[in-house]
Chain A
Amino acid sequence: MDFFVQQLVNGVTLGSVYALIALGYSMVYGILKLLNFAHGEVYMMGAFIGYFVLTALGGASSPVLPVAPLLVLMFLAGMLGAGLLGVVIERFAYRPLRNAPRIAPLISAIGVSFFLQASALLLFSAQFRTYDTPQLIPFSTGIEAGPLRISLVRMLVIGSAIVLMVALTLLVSRTRLGKAMRAVSYDREAAAMMGIDVDRVIVATFFIGSVLAGAAGVMVGLVFERVFHFMGFIAGLKGFTAAVIGGIGNIPGAMLGGLLIGLAEAFSASYISSTFQNLIVFGILIVIMLVRPSGLLGSPALTKV
């Protein structure tokens, strides 16, 4: 039982990171019907910004600030930086392709992704950077009940992911901007006719989605420590997968999809075999897709006749 709970926590930690990345994919898709393949690189940049803030403030072993404000600063900088990057990408790589075939932005997204990866290699070098979290928050702090251990860092990551997801849900369901986003997602032309500034809504969507990716980057830095130029590639694929599994364009779906993949990875690695972990996860996901062809929470595609 303890082992099960332990794996649950491991899975939820990983899953909440995937979920945050998936949210960015899903939001953008909901509005533009566009797969933003450069999203993983935004997450990578967020992780790097968090790392540089940490280093500038003395590093993990001798920080000049107490831990709490330090973490807040890292998150804020990572999120803001990633958000701005997302907006710039939208403006220069996607807006010119607004009315192009649906597959064209995919290639420009891949171009952006190559460019950002190479830029990171050029600017930050290829070395693995590490947040060195145990120096900052020892893994021994946290809940320890018999064999069950939940470190503070994990609780922090899961907690902030929940806060961000609740905030996003409130934003989408309660604010004017959220209403506008839903309207644009439902029918862009009609929304424009109703006086909604579609461009502004799209920019806001990219900003929010990228902010979440930036937060995910800092979280990964904290809990999985390593930061490097290629980290966005795999994470981007996972986020994309999570978004589609949940029903792409559907916000609770993206959260669910992320958690599901995180849990599937943790449980298959610990209960079955780490060698075939990815195989098992992909197998599960294929079955889900065949049973629910529009994702877990997605509505069946409407065909306009």
Chain B
Amino acid sequence: MKKSRFWLLLALVAALAVVAASCGGDDDDEGEPAAEDTTAGDTGGAEAVDCTASIGIMGPFTGDVAAIGQEQLNWAKFAVDQFNEGRGTSFELVEGDTQLDPAQAATVAPQFVSNSDIVAVVGPAGSQEVEAVGSIYGNAGIAFISPSATATNLTEDFETFFRVVPTDADQGPTDATYMADELGAQNVLIIDDQTSYSTGLADSTTAALEEAGVTVSRESVSQDQTDFSALASGVADDTDVVFLPWQVAANAQLFGNQLAEQGKDAVIFGSDGLFSPDDFKIAGSYVSSFAPDITGLDDPAIQELVAAFEDEYGDFGTFGPPTYAATTVVMEAATAVCEGGEEPSRETILEQMGQTDLPESILGQPIRFTENGDIEDATFFIFQVAEDGSYELVQ
């Protein structure tokens, strides 16, 4: 009697879990693996190159911001598959999970240094992680290129550091000018999410806004917060614009909904962390972005790439395409080394990466680096979210 009940229970659990599991897998699995029917968007048609190397990738692949890390990881995998497919190379990714903890990043970095196959590293994701690993990679002469660390001082402090995203110092003033001039904002509320990305950007925006004569008030809220309704209902009635330099677009979506629910009509202005047409679609809001078009709104080549990615991995936000770009930069450098008749090594790739010159990229703009390793000619673009949730370029 007791045994049979147990079996029943087990069968129930199994059945339930199977249902849940198959639901969960659906998004990722529809259709054929995409790599076969598309060529690499930016490099199609080149001669096959015999080139082998391992590339390390660091990011928060588990833990509370795994959504960001997994998006980066998937795009990096996607970039490697596409590149190998299109160019006949054989690059490999080695992943190192940091959970956004600098201490873990400082354990992963020596692991990558010890692994002599690894010639360059994509990541880490956070600015403090870059602080923690910068000298480790610097001493080993390994180039590392972050798809998301934006603290302004990093490229000055670390010689082998590159990044494909512009800094806080670039973004804050652009957003502030738009808020003050185009939106005519008088009172702006800035809410940071207590991360390094967010406070840095909030500070640079505050400075620029105050210079333009706008009254700025500042709040901050934890990224792990469940509920923003108390915060939303506390937004003063004379606030025109709420500036959200956040990383988690789903949080901003909830904040926007709750703002409406509490009867407030302030406009939301999001930083590039919120550029995520799948997750953030509060009509009438503004979002800035470091690229004119990372989700393929106009450019058919990017559209094709994005469709191929979504077939294989599902939705994404603002963190994936720069990772694709960063991974491509590394692979282009390695390929150039191979084409020059040398084995890709840490020194050769570091040197080659400094000379990167990609006329086209998934970011919709050329990629070249300044002497420090920052991206050249960083410009910011501003989008408005239309009624149906689509993004329209307004500046």
Q: Which of B64, B219, B261 contacts A149 (CB 8 A)?
A: B261
Q: Which of A11, A56, A230, A270 contacts B234 (CB 8 A)?
A: A270
Given known A-B contacts A11-B230, A123-B20, A128-B248, A139 and B224 have beta carbons under 8 A apart: no
Pick the interface stretch among B249-257, B266-274, B325-333. B249-257
Q: Which of B19, B220, B250 contacts A130 (CB 8 A)?
A: B250
Distance in angstroms between the alpha carbons of A220 and B254 in the assembled complex: 12
- Annotate B75-104 by CB proximity to A: 1 below 8 A, 0 otherwise: 000000000000000000000000000000
Distance in angstroms between the alpha carbons of A87 and B315 in the assembled complex: 34
Task: Specify which chain B residues have a CB less than 8 angstroms from the CB of A151 in the assembled complex.
Answer: 261
Distance in angstroms between the alpha carbons of A274 and B233 in the assembled complex: 12
Whether a CB of chain B sits under 8 angstroms from the CB of A52 is: yes
Given known A-B contacts A14-B226, A226-B250, A275-B219, A128 and B279 have beta carbons under 8 A apart: yes
Given known A-B contacts A84-B12, A123-B20, A125-B27, A277 and B221 have beta carbons under 8 A apart: yes
Distance in angstroms between the alpha carbons of A11 and B229 in the assembled complex: 9
Task: Specify which chain B residues have a CB less than 8 angstroms from the CB of A235 in the assembled complex.
Answer: 226
Task: Specify which chain B residues have a CB less than 8 angstroms from the CB of A234 in the assembled complex.
Answer: 224, 226
Whether a CB of chain A sits under 8 angstroms from the CB of B45 is: no
Q: Is the CB of A226 within 8 A of B254?
A: yes
Interface size classification for chain A: 35 or more
Q: Is the CB of B279 within 8 A of A81?
A: no
**CB-contacts of B270-284 with A (<8 A):** 279
Distance in angstroms between the alpha carbons of A114 and B24 in the assembled complex: 19
Distance in angstroms between the alpha carbons of A52 and B21 in the assembled complex: 10
Whether a CB of chain B sits under 8 angstroms from the CB of A55 is: yes
Distance in angstroms between the alpha carbons of A90 and B66 in the assembled complex: 28
Whether a CB of chain B sits under 8 angstroms from the CB of A7 is: yes
Task: Specify which chain A residues have a CB less than 8 angstroms from the CB of B376 in the assembled complex.
Answer: none
Q: Which of A118, A121, A267 has the most CB of B within 10 A?
A: A121
Whether a CB of chain A sits under 8 angstroms from the CB of B314 is: yes
Q: Which of B13, B24, B257 contacts A52 (CB 8 A)?
A: B24
Whether a CB of chain B sits under 8 angstroms from the CB of A127 is: yes
Distance in angstroms between the alpha carbons of A231 and B260 in the assembled complex: 24
Whether a CB of chain A sits under 8 angstroms from the CB of B231 is: yes
Distance in angstroms between the alpha carbons of A6 and B220 in the assembled complex: 21
Number of interface residues of B (CB under 8 A): 47
Given known A-B contacts A126-B69, A270-B233, A10 and B227 have beta carbons under 8 A apart: yes
* Interface SS majority for chain A: helix
- Annotate B1-18 by CB proximity to A: 1 below 8 A, 0 otherwise: 000000001001100100
Given known A-B contacts A14-B226, A273-B219, A127 and B67 have beta carbons under 8 A apart: yes
Task: Specify which chain A residues have a CB less than 8 angstroms from the CB of B71 in the assembled complex.
Answer: 126-127
A-B contact number at CB 8 A: 133
- Annotate A95-107 by CB proximity to B: 1 below 8 A, 0 otherwise: 0000000000000
Task: Specify which chain B residues have a CB less than 8 angstroms from the CB of A48 in the assembled complex.
Answer: 20, 24
Task: Specify which chain B residues have a CB less than 8 angstroms from the CB of A266 in the assembled complex.
Answer: 227, 229-230
CB distance from A59 to the nearest CB of B (A): 12
Distance in angstroms between the alpha carbons of A14 and B227 in the assembled complex: 7
Distance in angstroms between the alpha carbons of A139 and B222 in the assembled complex: 24
Task: Specify which chain A residues have a CB less than 8 angstroms from the CB of B249 in the assembled complex.
Answer: 128
Whether a CB of chain A sits under 8 angstroms from the CB of B355 is: no
Whether a CB of chain A sits under 8 angstroms from the CB of B110 is: no
Of all chain B residues, which has the CB nearest A235?
A: B226
Whether a CB of chain B sits under 8 angstroms from the CB of A278 is: yes
Whether a CB of chain A sits under 8 angstroms from the CB of B262 is: yes
Q: Is the CB of B234 within 8 A of A269?
A: yes
Distance in angstroms between the alpha carbons of A292 and B391 in the assembled complex: 54
Q: Which of B63, B224, B254 contacts A225 (CB 8 A)?
A: B254
Q: Is the CB of B263 within 8 A of A269?
A: no
Footprint of A on B, CB under 8 Å?
A: 9, 12-13, 16, 19-21, 23-25, 27-28, 62-64, 66-67, 69-71, 191, 219-222, 224, 226-227, 229-231, 233-234, 248-251, 253-254, 257, 260-263, 279, 314-315
- Other than A151-B261, A271-B234, give 18 A-B pairs with Cβ distance below 8 A: A13-B227, A52-B19, A52-B20, A84-B13, A121-B66, A123-B21, A123-B25, A224-B226, A224-B227, A226-B254, A228-B250, A230-B66, A231-B226, A266-B229, A270-B233, A274-B191, A274-B221, A277-B221
Leading 3 A-B pairs by shortest Cβ distance: A128-B250, A126-B70, A269-B230
| 11 contacts across the A-B interface (CB closer than 8 A) | A14-B226, A17-B226, A49-B16, A124-B20, A127-B314, A130-B279, A147-B263, A224-B226, A270-B231, A273-B219, A274-B234
Footprint of B on A, CB under 8 Å?
A: 3, 6-7, 10-11, 13-14, 17, 48-49, 52, 55-56, 80-81, 84-85, 87-88, 117-118, 121, 123-128, 130, 134, 139, 147, 149, 151, 220, 224-226, 228-231, 233-235, 265-267, 269-271, 273-275, 277-278
